[in-house]
Structure 1
Amino acid sequence: MRHEDIWRAIDTMAAEHGLSPSGLARKAGLDPTSFNLSKRRTGDGRVRWPSTESLAKVFLATGAKLEDFTALVMGARAMPEARPRARNKIPLIGMAQAGAEGFFDDGGYPAGAGWDEVELPSTADANAYALSISGDSMQPVYREGDSIIVSPAAPVRVGDRVVARTAAGAVMAKLLSRRTASRIELTSLNPAYPDLHFATQEILWMHRIVWASQ
Structure 2
Amino acid sequence: MRRLTHDRIWSAIDALAHRYGLSVSGLAKRSGLDPTAFNKSKRATGDGRPRWPTTESIAKVLEATGATLEDFTTLASSEPGQPNRNLPIPLIGMTQAGAGGFFDDGGYPVGGAWEQVPFPRVEDENAYALEVTGESMEPLYRQGDILIVSPNAPTRNGDRVVVRTTDGEVMAKLLVRRSAKTIELASMNPEHPNFVFPLDRVEWIARIIWASQ
TM-score (norm 2): 0.61
SS of the residue corresponding to residue 169 of structure 1 reads: coil
Equivalent positions of 1:37-186 (< 5 A) are: 77=70, 78-79=73-74, 80-81=76-77, 88-186=87-185
Larger deviation, residues 119-128 vs 130-139: 119-128
Shift of 1:180: 0.9
CA 1:199–1:82: 2 relative to 1, 3 Å: farther
* Alpha carbons 1:87, 1:124 under 8 Å: kept: no
Q: Distance in 2 between matches of 1:193 and 1:120?
A: 32
Alignment gaps of 5+ in structure 2: 1-68
Alignment-mate amino acid for residue 122 of structure 2: T
Shift of 1:121: 2.9
Equivalent positions of 1:19-30 (< 5 A) are: none
Structure 1 runs (4+) greater than 6 angstroms displaced = none
CA 1:86–1:198: 2 relative to 1, 3 Å: farther
SS of the residue corresponding to residue 98 of structure 1 reads: helix
CA 1:82–1:156: 2 relative to 1, 3 Å: farther
* Alpha carbons 1:137, 1:193 under 8 Å: kept: no
CA 1:163–1:81: 2 relative to 1, 3 Å: same
Q: Distance in 1 between matches of 2:184 and 2:94?
A: 21
Alignment-mate amino acid for residue 110 of structure 1: P
Alignment-mate amino acid for residue 178 of structure 1: R
CA 1:170–1:81: 2 relative to 1, 3 Å: same
* Alpha carbons 1:87, 1:126 under 8 Å: kept: no
Q: Distance in 2 between matches of 1:87 and 1:205?
A: 28
Q: Distance in 2 between matches of 1:193 and 1:112?
A: 34
Larger deviation, residues 146-155 vs 193-202: 193-202
* Alpha carbons 1:131, 1:148 under 8 Å: kept: yes
TM-score (norm 1): 0.60
Larger radius of gyration between Structure 1 and Structure 2: 2
Q: Distance in 2 between matches of 1:123 and 1:154?
A: 11
Shift of 1:205: 0.6
Q: Distance in 2 between matches of 1:120 and 1:194?
A: 34
